[in-house]
Structure formats: C-alpha cells, structure tokens
Amino acid sequence: MKMNKKILLTFMLVVSLLFMQSRSLNADTDQDPDIDIRLKFAIVQGDPESVIKFLEEGANANRIYDDGNTPLGEAISRSRATIDIVKALIHYGADPKIKVNGFSPLSLAQQKNDEELIRILYHYAESDVELYELALYYWNKEKEGSALEYADEALKLNPFNVKAWALKGSIFLSQNYYNIKYAEMAYHKAFEASLINLKSNKSEDDYQSAVWYALMSSDFNEALRVAKEGLSLFREDGNLEMSCAHAMLLLGRKKEAIDLYKKAYAGLLRSERYADRAAQLMTDDFANLIRRYPDKASELKWAEEKIQGPFDFNFHEIPFGAGKDSVLGMVKGAIVKDENKPVLGRLDPLLMKQLRTGLYPADKDTQLNPDVAEKYSITYEKWCTLQSIDLFFTGKEGQRTLFLVSKLYKESGRIDDIFTRFQETISKEIRIQPAVHATQIVSQSGPTPVKIAFWKSNNTTIFLDVLNVSSSSSQLRIMYVSKKGWAKYVDSADRAKPR
C-alpha cells in the first residue's frame, strides 16, 4: 500500500513537471494574440508604462504593421509619444536600422525636427549619406557647429563624399565660421572627389557640380576645362555656360565672359528646367562668388549688372522660334513699344531683292497686316551706340514666334571704317565671308552712300548696312532673319493676301 502511494506521488510529480514544461514550450502560442496591436495603441496614446509592460510580455518590438510602420516608427512620428518610449523600444530590441516606408528612423526624427531623438538615433546611421543628410538638416537650421560635426562624421565613413566636402566649404564661408583658407581646402577636396565620380558617371548635374567646386577652390583653368568638356556632351547647358563665364571673368577675360553670360542667361530663360528661376540662379551664383572672393567684388557686381540689363540679341543668343511672351520677358527694364510700321530701315532695291516682297502690309506701306506679323521696338537708356532693336513675330494669334531681329546703331567715324569693323566681327563670329555691295539712296539732301553685306548660314540670313548720316557719323543696321521663321512668315503672308 505504501509502495503504491509512493508510485502515485511520483507519477503526479512527473505529470506536473511535464505540464509546466509544455506551458513553457508553448508560451508563444499562449501569448495574447493582440499584444502587438495593444503595443501600438499604447505608443499612440503616449503611455510608456503600458509599452514596457507589453514588451516584457513578449510584444514584437520590430513588428511591421499593415501600413508599413513599425513600433519605433510610430513612436517617432506620433506627437504624444515620448523619448522614454523610444528608449524603451530600443532597449527591448527595436532595430533603429529598419526603414519605415523607405525612411530610416533617423530621417523620421529629422522630419519631426526633434533634436533629442536625432541625438539618440544618429549612432545607428549606417552610411555616410545618412550622416550627410543630417549635416544638411542642421545647416538648413543655421546650426553650423552641428552641421560641421556630422559632415565630418560622414567623411570618416567615406572620405570621397563630394557633398559633405562641399557643405564644409559652405560652412567655412558662413558668418560664424568664415575662413577662406579652410573653405578653399574643402572645395578643392570636393572637386577632386567629383572628378573621380565623373570617370564613372558623366551626368549633367555632376559636371555642373564639379565646375562649381573648381571655381570655389580658385582653380579657374580647371573649371574652364571641365565646363568645356561638359558642354561637349550637353550642348547649350545654361548652368555650365554660366560657370564657364564665371571662370573667364575670374581669369580676366571680361569681354568673352559677358558674351557667354548673356548666351547662358538666354539659354536658362528658354529651358523648361530653369526658366522660372533663371534670375534667382544667377543672383545666387554671384552672391556666393562675392562671399568667396571679396577682393573681386567690384568685377563680379559689374558683370551681374551688365547681364541684368535688357537682352541685346547678339547673333548666337537670338531665341528664334521662341514665343512672344518669353522673348519680351527678356527685355524687362527696357521701353517696349508695340508698332505696326513695316519699315525695317532703308528698303533699298538690293535689300528688297533679298527679302523679295518685304513684309506684307495691310494697307500699302503704312502698317503691318496684324494677321501675319507683329513688331515691337525696344529702347534702353543705358545702351550706348545701340539705339533700338526691332523684334518681329509671326504665326497664329496667341502662338506668335520670333523670326526677325533688326538692330539699329549710331556710330562715330567714317562709313568705310565702321563697315569694315562690323563686317569683320560678324564674319569671325559665324565663320562665313559675306557678299558685299556699295549703293546709294536718294534723299532730300541728295544721294547718300550705303554699304551692304549679307551672309547666309544654314539657319540664318544676316544683313549689315551702313548709311552716312553726316561727315562724322553713320547709322548702322544689323538684321538677323531666321530661314525657318521667314518661310513660316511668307506662308502666313501668302495666305493672308487678298485674292
């Protein structure tokens, strides 16, 4: 009897132990199935005690919810969640490297503008890119010290982080950390790193950045070289042309610089990418260069003022085919008159022959046919020898485009000298020799000598004529005609002529 009782007690003990082991092995299955949801609710409510309780009871600190969020992501994003909840989640195993819908917890903390969170999470940054973005975050908040700290942290992970070096250059040009020597060193490092990048990635943006870093590191010849290389791949890129002009100006090549500045600015105004902010881009460029080179401030301000004057339509810069509103927007600051007079200047027999029937008038020779063309006359008080520019547009109403530009100058000197000078300049610019003619027109004072030259390129016909006004001065006109635009004009005029 005693033996049976002993066996029974032993059996009961074994069963009890097995039952306890079974409960331990199946703890996960016995766990509250809604505990992860309860954890989320506690985070949303900002209840750190409940958060810790659910984590201790086995809630998953790295659970990915149906909306793509995680407990840590919820804690960072929610306004009621506290730092204590974030710390508790990390303590109980939440991984600060798991991204939430593409954003790291550190990025979410930046979006929330919570610097205490940032200080906790930056230790878990996995890449130099994250640290650079953190440096940029502080730079945008005008906290240069923190920006410099994290830029240096980024460079410890990747010494060739171009943007981090460039940001350091900007920091050393800021008021509180101004040091031209350190700025130059940082921009030089950025330029060296950008050249390495260009070996594998020759993108438009990479060329623009590399040229700018060379400019800011005083390496103007290298800036010019890389800009020209970029322009060979991305022709007429307004940003590259602008930087190329900066390099020319800083190298003392003023005239070349101004010509290229105007061409670059016209290109930016025409581009879809930069049209709305072309003026601001140019202003920012000059402000940064003046901050970097205070000893060259007068030259830079002179160039900026020169560019900001109304566009003066030099040959390679004429935006043929551009819409009327766009073109007239380029002459802000000038006086613009809407005229209906068809006269281009002196319509001598030779010029009439070249233009065939000239501009078709609506009423004999008194006004333009408004169904065919519009003319605007541009004058600007700060132009010296350039008296006026006439712009002609053709096409359907509301879709008028530029097809002819006529520029009128008043020059001092002998007609032959003036004619030769302008003829040589145009020939050099377009690399074509002109046909030259001498003629005369009859005026009230008698026959007046006129000299004419015209050039025909693939896309444009150019006319130059010089008329004696007095013994000491001459009037000169250069007229640029788009061949494509002229064909469009003639077609419109032919259709508008009365049958």
Residue 10 has pLDDT above 90, yes or no: no
Model confidence at 22, in pLDDT bands (50, 70, 90)? very low
For domain 32-126, give the CATH number. Answer: 1.25.40.20
Distances (CA, A) of 488 to 170, 183, 320, 494: 50, 54, 12, 10
The pLDDT tens digits for 383-414 are 878 889 989 998 888 889 999 998 988 888 78
Strand order in the sheet with 373-379: 335-339, 373-379, 386-394, 401-412, 473-482, 460-468, 446-456, 435-443
Q: Which residues pair with 461 in a beta bridge?
A: 456, 481
How deeply is 473 buried, as exposed, middle or buried, from its count of CB atoms within 10 A (0-12, 13-18, 19+)? middle
Residue 29, pLDDT score: 45
Domain ranges for the chain, please list them: 1-30, 32-126, 156-315, 319-496
Averaged pLDDT, 456-466: 88
Residue 166, pLDDT score: 96
Question: 10-24, 211-225, 292-306: which has the highest mean pLDDT?
Answer: 211-225
Residue 139, pLDDT score: 94
Residue 23, pLDDT score: 43
Q: What is the DSSP letter of 294?
A: G
Residue 454 has pLDDT above 50, yes or no: yes
Residue 94, pLDDT score: 87
The pLDDT tens digits for 82-108 are 788 888 988 988 888 888 888 888 888
What average pLDDT does the chain have? Answer: 83
CA distance 95 to 121: 10
Amino acid identity, position 267: G
CATH superfamily, with its number, for domain 156-315: Tetratricopeptide repeat domain (1.25.40.10)
Model confidence at 178, in pLDDT bands (50, 70, 90)? very high
**Equal fold, 32-126 vs 156-315:** yes
Residue 277 has pLDDT above 60, yes or no: yes
Q: What proportion of the chain, given as a percentage, has pLDDT over 90?
A: 29
Averaged pLDDT, 238-252: 93
